[in-house]
Amino acid sequence: MFVKPDNTYNDIRYRSLNKWLDDMEEHEDIAVRCGVPLARDYVKYLKDEIKRLNEENQLKNTHMKKLIEKYRTK
């Protein structure tokens, strides 16, 4: 009944970003090379933030369902 979400597009996009960052690590310009770790850290921060917000949303949904059931039974 439950279908696992298809993340193929996001996986390809993430691998493409990592490939591009790997290429930029070998760039001759030091400013470009030094920006790569910052970009990787920012992407990691964004993924963690998305995960946190999804968990928060799930918690709110659960709480709202309980409230709705509580008021329906009254």
Residue 17 near residue 43, CB atoms below 8 Å = yes
pLDDT of 5 reads 80
Task: Count structural domains, the chain.
Answer: 1
pLDDT tens for each residue of 12-53: 999 999 999 999 999 888 888 889 999 999 999 999 999 999
pLDDT band at 74 (very low <50, low <70, confident <90, very high): low
In a domain, 29, yes or no: yes
In a domain, 2, yes or no: no
Domain range for 28 is: 8-72
Q: What's the pTM value of the predicted model, to 2 decimals?
A: 0.72
In a domain, 18, yes or no: yes
CB-count exposure of residue 65 (10 Å: 0-12, 13-18, 19+):
exposed
In a domain, 54, yes or no: yes
In a domain, 1, yes or no: no
